[in-house]
Amino acid sequence: MKNMRLILGALFLVGSLQSFAQQVEKPTIKSKTTFAIVVDDKTYKAAETELKAYRQVVEKDGLGTYIITDNWTSPEKIRETLHKLYLDKSSPLEGVVLVGNIPVPMIRDAQYLTSAFKMNQRFRWDSSSVPSDRYYDDFDLQFDYLKQDTAKGRESYHYYSLKAESPQFIDMDIYSARIKPPVVDGEDMTLKIKTYLSKIVKLRSQSFPLDDMIVSVGHGYNSNSVNSVMGEAIALKTQFPNLFQPGGSIKFLNFRSAEFIKFNLLSELKRDGIDFAYMTGHGTARMQLLSGYPNVSSPQPSMQNVARYIRSKMRAAKEDGRDLEVVKEGFQKSLGLSDKWFEDSFDQASIEADSIYNINMDVQMSDIKNANIQAKLVYLNSCLTGSFHLDNYIAGYYPFSDNQNIAAVANSIGVLQDLYPSELMGLLGQGYRVGNWLKHIAYLETHILGDPTFYFASNRAKELNEATVLNKKSSYWKSLLKENDASLQALALDKLTQLLSEKEVSPILKSYYFNSAFESTRMQAFQLLSQFENQDYIDVLHAAKNDSYEYIRRRAIYDLTDFGSNEFVKDLIQFYVSDPHSERVAYRIRWALQFMDPTEAKRQINEVIRQNNSLFGGKDLADKLDKDVEYYQKKTEELNQNLTDKSVVEKERLSAINSLRLYRNHNVIPNVIKLAKDNSESEALRVAGLEAMGWFTLSYQRDEIVKACDDILKSQSSEAIKKEALKTKNRIKGNSHKI
């Protein structure tokens, strides 16, 4: 039966390609896997020569390439065509690049597939949806088509809702990328595409080993944690050992190093020989945010910081039409300031000086556009910089202007600070295609801008890229696991988890966590074990609080918090004692305390802290934490009141329910279940309650949530309620727990 399906699928593929003969240009070479260039008619007609030259470059690497053209009016046709090519078992599709005016899927009802996005979907659809090409590259995800945007400039937006029946996690079948240059009035996107493709043909004729890298960290990221930065530097040393040896180079830039660190960063980006720039920080669609006001202690610069702050607030108040005297009096009262601090708020010279100062703090579009950036690959680990659905966005200027950049990895919406951004990053140094790397790290918002087939020169490139797509033999990956290389071991663990049963692979993961000296290998084992939630994982989770790698400690707090059971309360309290100097860890611990059982929390505070005679200031710390627990307990009681009291207005009850998507308080789940099953409650409240419980994917309450969903699915509830119950059940039971 399986062979018959393959034969029918192959016949269907051949027939489909024949019916699209004018649109599909087949590869000119035979290859084990294939690649597709999807381009709109207008761009193809203008850039046919450049597109075919690009195809020749890709095929020179042994990757047969389709060119698929059409007047694309919706995403469905593209997805269907790509899926058919993927099903070709003789030479399956491994990736695609979308060139020009290609429809943009705007995904709704799937915010849990992002790293952090939790916007109320009652807001404007173009703002509360996620621009995502996971629609094109993850064929298992199922969607309902909602509508096309009709507003001027947004006609390419097509809105989709993730179906309840769909898998509720991302597992990309192919990789994808966009060649969509940013444009402003008067600019021709097609001309920019032609120029980019010509540049790629030239650059790809050269060999670029990854032997020169920069890492930059902007202000305000990960609580400005020193231990976070140090931990990543140590992890990168095991992922890129050659960069720390003679002949290699890696530089670390930090916002603390200069008042305007952007000039140091730009100098590095333009330096001859630079291969890869990994830039972490905050961002917008138009800027990479790097610097804050100087962190100073001496009086004069401190006064300058206050003066800039006051001037900016007064100018903002004027723009908002507020009463300036009232605003002024408020600051004078709160900060104890005299009239002198406000005198030059609207002085033209002061306005110009502050404007220049603010521009110098951050990387602007004008800093990147046509700037002769030399880094072949850049990774912008920040919010919004990759907003490719907009006409103008900063990440696009790296590859799609007069720079030597080939590809940029960036995000189309806001992104979580506590990501594992260096996940399998060391594979890039082994010749891994940028597209293949994306498949390991992508959320809904993660995208490649530029050529996804690019890879850094390595004698292992061909082997690894073919193996990651085609090799299903556990023996190969077990052999790779034995190599003394952090990234190869991490990749092998990932592949073995896909190929072996839980019984076979769980002991391997546990062993590598407890025995590996490589931070990234331990993190990969920890992350993969979290899919099973078995005793091996519990053992690792308990041990993770003492891991030398700060990121593992930080991520452990996430899981301890998401479990929420009394078994892990002691671990969280011990974190207070063992790791108060790691700023981001300490922040997450304070966050976690509000979701713990208050009685057990107080007992552990007394046992671990108050009775610890060797702990300096233990009694004071314990008293403080007790007060925090009491405060959180009161907040939980108020939350339960809003959930259960039907006299409370529905708007407030909805707000209380929706808060659980971020503030996952396990103690209120019984009341949320009761509300969701109550036929006398409104459909809106019941749907919201079910949706909120779908975020409790690791909670000790999860079995009760699944049981409640099953009960609702058997009930006479409305279709909307049953649909949400099915989605929540699938989210929890099918959760892959991508960290």
Q: Residues 60-74: what's their mean pLDDT?
A: 96
Give all strands of the β-sheet with 282-283 in edge-to-edge order. 282-283, 287-289, 363-364
Interacting residues of 215 by C-beta distance below 8 A, sequence separation 6+:
232, 233, 236, 250, 251, 252, 253, 278, 279, 280
User: Both tokens of residue 736?
Assistant: 């892959």
**pLDDT of 164 above 50:** yes
Length of the chain, in residues: 739
Residue 186 CA to residue 553 CA, distance in Å, equals 51
**pLDDT of 302 above 90:** no
Q: Residues 532-541: what's their mean pLDDT?
A: 93
**What are the phi and psi torsion angles at 475 (to 5°)?**
-60, -40
Tell me what pLDDT residue 299 has. 87
The confidence band for 589, taking pLDDT boundaries of 50, 70 and 90, is: confident
**Helix, strand, coil percentages in the chain from 3-state DSSP, rounded to 5:** 55, 10, 35
The confidence band for 669, taking pLDDT boundaries of 50, 70 and 90, is: very high
CB atoms within 10 A of CB 114: 23
**pLDDT of 120 above 90:** no
Instruction: Give the bridge partners for 481, in sequence order.
Output: none
Q: What is the DSSP letter of 607?
A: I
User: Both tokens of residue 733?
Assistant: 């039971």
Q: Residues 266-276: what's their mean pLDDT?
A: 97
Q: Residues 473-491: what's their mean pLDDT?
A: 96
User: Both tokens of residue 49?
Assistant: 């020569």
**pLDDT of 4 above 50:** no
Tell me what pLDDT residue 734 has. 72
User: Both tokens of residue 382?
Assistant: 């920040």
Cα dist from 619 to 576, 587, 601, 608, 625, whole Å: 13, 21, 15, 11, 10
61: burial class by Cβ within 10 Å (0-12, 13-18, 19+)? middle
Residue 658 CA to residue 685 CA, distance in Å, equals 10
User: Both tokens of residue 92?
Assistant: 């399956």
Q: What is the pLDDT of residues 310-326, one digit of tens each?
A: 999 999 999 999 999 99
Residue 398 CA to residue 406 CA, distance in Å, equals 8
**pLDDT of 162 above 60:** yes
3 state DSSP class of 168: coil
* Total-model pTM: 0.92
Report the percent of the chain where pLDDT is more than 90: 82
Radius of gyration of the chain (CA): 27
Q: What is the pLDDT of residues 172-212, one digit of tens each?
A: 999 999 999 999 988 999 999 999 999 999 999 999 999 99
Residues 58, 119: contact at Cβ < 8 Å?
no
Closest listed residue to residue 288, CA positions, set 280, 296, 299: 280
Report the percent of the chain where pLDDT is more than 70: 96
Tell me what pLDDT residue 535 has. 94
What's the mean pLDDT when you consider all of the chain?
92
CB atoms within 10 A of CB 59: 17
Where do the domains of the chain lie?
Answer: 2-198, 207-291+363-450, 299-361, 470-635, 652-733
Cα dist from 384 to 288, 291, 378, 412, whole Å: 9, 17, 15, 5
Tell me what pLDDT residue 735 has. 53
Q: Residues 141-145: what's their mean pLDDT?
A: 97
Q: What is the pLDDT of residues 357-400, one digit of tens each?
A: 999 999 999 999 999 999 999 999 999 999 999 999 999 999 99
Q: Which sign does the torsion angle of CA 592, 594, 597, 600 carry?
A: positive
Tell me what pLDDT residue 21 has. 39
Residues 157, 389: contact at Cβ < 8 Å?
yes
Using CA atoms of 357, 360, 364, 370 in order, give the dihedral in degrees to the nearest 10. Answer: 130
Residues 639, 630: contact at Cβ < 8 Å?
no
Tell me what pLDDT residue 104 has. 98
Instruction: Give the bridge partners for 282, in sequence order.
Output: 289
Cα dist from 55 to 43, 363, 486, 551, 705, whole Å: 15, 34, 34, 40, 51
350: burial class by Cβ within 10 Å (0-12, 13-18, 19+)? middle
**pLDDT of 591 above 70:** yes
User: Both tokens of residue 45?
Assistant: 């007609």
- Please indicate whether the domains covering 207-291+363-450 and 470-635 agree at the CATH topology level: no
Q: What is the DSSP letter of 339?
A: G
The confidence band for 5, taking pLDDT boundaries of 50, 70 and 90, is: very low
The CATH number of domain 207-291+363-450, selected from 1.10.3470, 3.40.50, 2.60.40, 3.30.2320:
3.40.50
**pLDDT of 739 above 60:** no
**pLDDT of 457 above 60:** yes
Q: Residues 104-114: what's their mean pLDDT?
A: 96
Residue 590 CA to residue 576 CA, distance in Å, equals 9
Spell out the CATH class of 470-635.
Answer: mainly alpha
